[in-house]
Structure 1
Amino acid sequence: MSGSLARLNAISAVNNATTTNKPLNFSEEKPTDLFGCNVFNDKVMQEHLPKAVYKSLKRTIENGEQMDPSIADAVAAAMKEWALSRGATHYTHVFYPLTGLTAEKHDSFLEPDGRGGAIAQFSGSTLIQGEPDASSFPNGGLRTTFEARGYTAWDLTNPAYLLENDNGIFLCIPTAFVSWTGEALDKKTPLLRSNQAVHTQASRLLKLLGHENFDRIQNFAGVEQEYFLVDRNFYFSRPDLYLAGRTLFGAKPAKGQEQDDHYFGTIPKRVLAFMIEAERELYKLGVPVKTRHNEVAPGQYEIAPMFEDSNLANDHNQMIMSVLKSVAKRYGMACLMHEKPFAGINGSGKHLNYSIGNGQFGSLFDPGETPHENAQFLLFCAAMIRAVHKHGSLLRSSVACASNDHRLGANEAPPAIMSIFLGDQLTDIFDQIKEGAEVTGKEKGILRVGVDTLPPIPMDAGDRNRTSPFAFTGNRFEFRAVGSSQSIAGAQLVLNTILSESLAYISDRLEKLVEDESVELNVAVTKIIQEIMKEHDNVVFNGDGYSEEWTIEAAKRGLANLRTTPEALPALNSPSSVAVFEEFGVLSNRELDSRVSIFFEQYINTLQTEVELAIKLARTSILPAAVRYQTELARNCLNMKELGLGCITGPLTKLTENLNGLESAANELESMLAKSHAGEQEHAHSLCNETLPVMTELREYADKLEEIVADDLWPLPTYQEMLFIK
């Protein structure tokens, strides 16, 4: 299909867009009635479970108590009857293997009754434990291929739910996924372990500060999911999009995002219809989606739910990605989650808003109206500063992958240098503590706009910083480095673990000062904060994280700049990382080694796929189109010469030069693929440092050809078409 034909088909699809469903009517089916209707939530459990079973289950969910196995059959029976009453025929244990995707194996409720009929069966043992084949999931050497046994274990802290399909409904049970030896093969298991660690250490510190009888300390996540939408006519005309998730070729359009006119602009009609239906599906699953808007880049959008417990937020984010992709199809679009599907414009992130606390304390990162007097907040904030400074490389490794390498450090994403933005007010307070001065705070001001009809606006004491990878934003920290395609579990469990280590350090230090040295509590707290800031305030940076000056300054401060995945991944199982993960029971040395091996393998596979695809596209699509145009130009020159007229040779010369460069780069890439390597890490570094630059060179030749070859001959939909035709 030529580019012009794809463009015409896309325009026709926009003008004649239809959906598979009738228009939604929220006046008949209210969002408040829809919300959670497909979830086995607290209300449903209370209605369907015996009172004693319900209370026992609630204690486990809310307080982290061990589940009483005797209630499993009663819960399974109630869950089955509820699911059957809603039309479900099958159930599945949903888990999140190290592929980063969602996995499920469906089983029917129905079993033969021995008399030619069938009965619905679902026992407590089936609910608690499933047995999927673990042989084909990434394990990084934890298991051999012939050792296939794996287990799913019911995660009762997250509710079961129903998923609707055009031809049926099935029950989904959130689970953890472990090997036969009990080692984590998934994203959820270590996240749950880290949740337990942060509760233990935060509770210990709060008790030392004089608190008693408080509820379980949870960690919370608010996940801002960015994504692109492309018409499916274009999508299926671009093998690089549907196989690699990003465009390997594409010349810069005359208009990109320079005017920033897409950001918060009016949402296109077809896109808004898609958003509304996606939100409706998410409401039914109990996902508290709150915000939708156009993002900075053309064709880019964002959806953001409210804060939730991090384990539930992780599951919900997986649902969001799945629902966005499936609903987009109904509107003739493809939803792209790749971090950098288009070069030259902003990529997509997944900003992870992070906090810890509970209903009694609220967020323990909330400074209140007078943060300089809030010793508890300052202590927890200092713990986070220490954690990021001490374990910055580990935090960087948690977001390392081939696709995110294209985004980190670009003008829409934070740099690979891990630093913390505190803002002027907090920085000033911590500086005063560090210097031993009497601490005073800046009061919030009032912003007066200068228009009488507009009200005065309370003004925050500090601005926001979009260039910081880890920024304090009022009552939480925003980790901006997570990639749009990534699970938040990796970053969340690292944040929990390193914060737990800092809280344990502070508790140890506080006990020593108060009990051994008889230092008054408030004095001891101030002393600890002072010590932390003297040792760790190098990680605090409020300036422009994109500037070259910061790169130089960060090096002077001793902050690592791990620009690529091969540089970053070894930090995941470095001796210091192994020590902190094992100390708090989050991941063992073997589990960490397996993850590093898996992530290196995924990096290698991703790049090799892209290289092979780039060579094929260059040779079978771009080169033939360019040769056809070269032939046209050559014939034209010959004809003009025969007529005794001069011919324009410039385009032909440029075309030939770039064709030769394209073929040369393709040949070089082909020879690079054939090279042997001593191991995964050497292979990954070779692909990163040697192969990727040649891929870039190949792209430069291809993109120059796109700007020369006649539009009706160019085979691939262009950036201009894909980004702006909605």
Structure 2
Amino acid sequence: MSDKVTQEYGTLVFNDAVMQERLPRPTYKELSRVIKEGGTLHLDIANEVAHAMKEWALEQGATHYAHWFQPLTGITSEKHDSFLTPKSDGTAMMTFSGKELVQGEPDASSFPNGGLRATFEARGYTAWDPTSPAFIKDEVLCIPTAFVSYTGEALDKKTPFLRSTVALDREAKRVLALFGKNPKKVECTVGPEQEYFLIREKDFAKRPDLIMCGRTLFGCEPVKGQELEEHYFGAIRPTVNEFMKELDDELWKRGIPATTKHNEVAPCQHELAPVFETASRAIDHNLLTMEEMKIIASRHGLTCLQHEKPFDYVNGSGKHDNWSISADGKNLLDPSDTPEENLQFLVFLASVIAAVDEHQDLLRASVASAGNDHRLGANEAPPAIISIFLGDDLNAVVRALIDGSDFQSHGRETMDVGVPQLADILRDNTDRNRTSPFAFTGNKFEFRMCGSQQNLSDPNMVLNTAVAEQLEDFADKLGAVDDEDFAAEALAWVKRTLSDHERIIFNGNGYSDEWPLEAEKRGLLNLKTTADTLATLRDPENIAFFGHFGVLDPAEVSARYVAKAEQYGKLINIEARTMVYMARHWYLPVLFDYTNDLATSIATKQSVGVVAKSEKDLLQRLVDGTDAISEGADKVEALNAEAQSLEDPEEQDLFYAHTVLPEMEALRKAVDSLEQVVGHDYWPVPSYNRMLFYV
């Protein structure tokens, strides 16, 4: 079996091994140079690559190709074009040119553009990203691409992210040159841990809220939740295991290094984690993983839910972004055994700490969404306050540097667990703080605020650019320092930077009631909702920040603000309309039937002299609750209409967040309170008890 896995791994990917086998050596060398160093690929070379790619794809059963890109919706898009070219004699041939490989032209008019394009201006372009290999999906050769407008503005998530990697590469090389090192490439690496829910497809089909919104807008608390904690890392049920097995097989064929799978904390919740990869490839792979999860789940009678909060009362789902920097494959965030003596590591560590502190607002905005608002700040995910966890040893190093005191490392300790047959355990120098939004975990940082359904291009774009800014500051200030003074000046820069940004370091419990008060004293931001967060994108200093590094120009920043703000309002509008629809067409008719049957029963009993006290009390509760639902639906409908009349996106989002959502929650409570007392056979949708606990 292991031989089969290794033999099939990457068989649906036009990877480096395939390129070496199928491309002429000069062509392969030139393409490799462009991938590693950048530059324009000559059309003759592109034609040779396209021909080899087409021949390989045909052998894999492909009949079409598609430029696979990431519009501002956050998901992926593709337009399938056939390799088929008719001939004048009535036959046909299969062709694919370098021009078709390098550039495509999807209709750009119907994608979110944040005002960059008018609806009638339809032309947009896709450009091949050779750093992320093409792959086969069904009968289609998918080519990862960037997506820009007719006038060159980025209309996607990938392009600004790739620009941020250019900035990080440039500034990190400047810093490393001061340490006498000249790597060919510096890049960020990412390992995205994906959480998700699986429920039965037949239950999903009976829930309009799940179908339309991806989350349950109604549903009373199940009699059992996650309080027994037996689901976390528990035995995987056979149906789910079959799904996971097929998912692994399909991901491995596409060169996605999925390694870890397990049950998560909430019932029906699971997680998949891959090996770290170059960030561009890792992000593409994560998006493909999310697609495959949904497709494969349906083959097993399941539905995969990737919303951040599909069910109340149990944990929601995140996507942990494990981020680091490497130079020619060497991890720059590896502290070594003596981090206090590793000046290069300390420079990069201080740069990350300062970057996170300086750009709390942008990092928070990068993970802001209507779905993630339900998760952040609950006792299941990091709070909405950005802070950094370093662990005891590294925190002690930082503390010593700030205070000018000596640091004594204790090294890694071993623990005797008291059983002779068990080996001693080697304890890490840092524990895992699950309440921290941004935690150092040995040789990387884990950004835990990302939502399960989001595209990781946004947070990594911000992180890359913010770190590049700090590295630029170091290189500018120390570039002219004499060699004999460099170490002392570099250490002084580290101390000053850590002192200036000490407030962002917090190693305590992010769930505690005291932490928001402490964070406020420190001057840290607490942007609780997406509506409160997105406007920070338009701050002049943030626009200048992105522009300085060539990541986003002012128009592109504005477009991203408008697109995210409009998406937030549209999502809440859909949820509000779905709630009103379900209340009026699903719940109220059932409640009318149930109260009518109950009233008939009471009247029958009273006719023979039976008091029927319990039925009378229940009937009154049902009548009062039904009135509350009807009134609540009217109120949500009216407020939603008022929100829709607001033309300014920021004003509309704030109205949704602080006026409409509370009324939606009140409507939910009115419905959920009656679910607890209405007969099971009457209730029109599957309950939490049914959906979360299936065999």
TM-score, normalised via structure 2 length: 0.98
Among candidates 330, 346, 349, match of residue 299 of structure 2: 330
User: Match for 2:620 among 645, 650, 653?
Assistant: 653
Determine if contact 2:232/2:265 at 8 Å carries over to the other structure.
Answer: yes
Question: Structure 2 residue aligned with 1:527, among 489, 492, 508?
Answer: 492
User: What is the distance in 1 between the residues matched to 2:545 and 2:575?
Assistant: 36
Q: Is contact 1:177–1:186 with CA below 8 Å preserved after alignment?
A: yes
Q: Is the counterpart of residue 372 in structure 1 residue 340 in structure 2?
A: yes
Distance 1:681 1:433 in 2: 43
Instruction: Determine what percentage of the aligned residue pairs are the same residue.
Output: 48
Asked whether 1:73 is paired with 2:38, we answer: no
Q: How does 1:575-724 map to 2 (within 5 A)?
A: 575-647=540-612, 648=614, 649-675=616-642, 676-724=645-693
Alignment map for 1:333-412 (pairs within 5 Å): 333-359=302-328, 362-412=330-380
| Distance apart, 1:631 and its partner CA | 1.5
Does the CA contact (< 8 Å) of 1:372 and 1:440 recur in 2? no
Question: Is structure 2 residue 14 aligned with structure 1 residue 44?
Answer: no
Q: Secondary structure of 2:575's partner?
A: helix
CA distance in 2, matches of 1:64, 1:535: 37
**3-state secondary structure, aligned to 2:63:** strand
Count of residues in Structure 1 that have an aligned counterpart in Structure 2 = 691
User: In the alignment, residue 470 of structure 1 is paired with which amino acid?
Assistant: F
Q: Give unpaired runs (5+ residues) of structure 2.
A: none
> Does the Cα contact within 8 Å between 2:319 and 2:450 map onto a contact in 1?
yes
Q: Supply the AA of the counterpart residue of 2:391.
A: G
In 1: Cα distance, 2:306 partner to 2:133 partner: 26
In the TM superposition, what whole-angstrom CA distance separates every residue of 1:292-315 from its partner, at most 9, and x where no partner exists?
Answer: 000000000011111000000111
SS in 2 for 1:674: helix
The amino acid across from 1:251 in the alignment is C
Give, in whole Å, the separation in 2 of the partners of 1:711 and 1:439: 65
| Inter-partner Cα distance in structure 1 for 2:263 and 2:147 | 36
8 Å contact kept, 2:396–2:407 = no
Residues 64 and 81 in structure 2, CA contact (< 8 A), matched pair in contact too: yes
Give the structure 1 partner of residue 510 of structure 2. 545
Aligned residue in 1 for 2:169: 199
In structure 2, distance between residues paired with 1:224 and 1:85: 33
CA displacement at 1:163 relative to structure 2 = 1.3
1:461 counterpart letter in structure 2: N
Amino acid at match of 2:68: V
Residue 406 of structure 2: aligned partner: 438
Give the structure 2 partner of residue 8 of structure 1.
Answer: none
Task: Kindly indicate whether the alpha-carbon contact (under 8 Å) linking 1:398 and 1:572 is maintained by their aligned counterparts in 2.
Answer: no
Q: Which residue, out of 488, 501, 505, partners 1:536?
A: 501
Residues 594-619 of structure 1, C-alpha deviation per residue, up to 9 Å, x if partnerless?
A: 01000011000100000000011011
CA distance in 1, matches of 2:445, 2:469: 18
* Pairing of 1:236-247 with structure 2 (within 5 A): 236-247=205-216
Aligned-pair distance for 1:129?
A: 0.6
The correspondence of residues 30-429 of structure 1 with structure 2, limited to 5 A, is: 30-164=4-138, 169-212=139-182, 214-359=183-328, 362-429=330-397
Give the letter aligned to residue 522 of structure 1.
A
> 1:359 deviation in Å?
4.1
- C-alpha distance in 2, partners of 1:674/1:398? 29
Is the 2:134–2:144 Cα contact (8 Å) retained in structure 1?
yes
Residues of 2 paired with 1:568 and 1:260: CA distance?
A: 34
**Range 615-624 or range 597-606, more displaced:** 615-624
Opposite residue 325 of structure 1, the aligned amino acid is K
Matched, 1:465 2:439: no
Quick one: which of 461, 466, 469 aligns to 1:493?
461
Mean Cα displacement is larger for which, 290-299 or 573-582? 573-582
Q: More deviation in 171-180 or 60-69?
A: 60-69
Cα distance in 2 between the residues matched to 1:70 and 1:190:
28
Cα distance in 1 for residues equivalent to 2:132 and 2:42:
17
SS of corresponding position for 2:376:
coil
- Deviation of 1:546 after TM superposition, in Å, equals 1.2
What's the secondary structure of 1:211's corresponding residue? coil
**Are the aligned partners of 1:56 and 1:68 in contact in 2 as well (CA < 8 Å)?**
no
Looking at structure 2, the residues matched to 437 and 304 of structure 1 have their Cα atoms a distance apart, in angstroms, of 40
SS in 1 for 2:197: strand
Query: CA separation in 2, counterparts of 1:683 and 1:158?
Result: 38
CA–CA separation in structure 2 for the residues paired with 1:70 and 1:395: 42
Give the distance between the partners of 1:533 and 1:111, measured in 2 at CA: 62
Secondary structure at 2:511's aligned position in 1? coil
**Cα separation, 2, equivalents of 1:45 and 1:223:** 27
Helix, strand or coil at the partner of 2:142: strand
C-alpha deviation, 1:65, in angstroms = 4.1
Deviation track 1:473-512 (CA, whole Å, cap 9, x = no partner) reads 0000000000000001011111101010011112122235
The 8 Å contact of residues 434 and 534 in structure 1, kept in 2 or not, is answered as yes
Post-superposition CA distance 1:336-394 (Å, at most 9, x none): 0000000010000000000011345x211111111111111111011000000010011
Deviation at 1:709, TM superposition (A): 0.4
For 2:161, the aligned partner's letter is L
AA aligned to 2:268 is G
How many angstroms apart in 2 are the aligned matches of 1:550 and 1:424? 19
Partner SS for 2:375: coil
Moved more, 655-664 or 529-538: 655-664
Per the TM alignment, residue 439 of structure 1 is displaced from its structure 2 partner at its CA by 3.3
CA-CA distance at 1:46 after TM superposition: 0.9
Is the 8 Å Cα contact of residues 274 and 327 (structure 1) preserved in structure 2? yes
Partners of 2:61 and 2:517 in 1: CA distance: 62
Give the whole-Å Cα distance in 2 for the aligned partners of 1:423 and 1:482: 21
How far apart, CA to CA, are the structure 1 residues paired with 2:327 and 2:314?
Answer: 40
Partners in 1 of 2:409 and 2:399 — Cα distance?
Answer: 11
Give yes or no for contact 2:136–2:142 (8 Å, CA) kept in 1: yes
Structure 2 distance, partners of 1:311, 1:681, is 31
RMSD: 1.2
Superposed CA offset, 1:626-662 (max 9, x none) = 2222122222222222222221222122222211111
In 1, distance between residues paired with 2:339 and 2:428?
13
Is contact 2:185-2:328 (8 Å) kept? no
Deviations 1:219-252 (A, max 9, x none): 1000000000010110000010011000000010
Pairwise CA distance, 1:563: 0.4
Query: Which residue of structure 2 lines up, in the alignment, with residue 15 of structure 1?
Result: none
How far the C-alpha of 1:172 sits from its partner, in A, is 1.0
1:524-568 C-alpha deviation (Å, 9 max, x unpaired): 121111101111010000111111210001011000100000111
Instruction: Say if 2:364 and 2:527, in contact at 8 Å, map to a contact too.
Output: yes
The answer to whether the 8 Å contact 2:535/2:650 transfers is no
Distance 1:711 1:623 in 2: 15
Which amino acid in 2 is paired with 1:600? A
CA deviation map 1:105-129 (0-9, x unaligned): 1111111111111111111111111
Corresponding residue to 1:479 among 427, 447, 454: 447
Counterpart-to-counterpart distance in 1, 2:148 and 2:401: 46
Amino acid at match of 1:431: R
Q: TM-score, normalised by structure 1?
A: 0.94
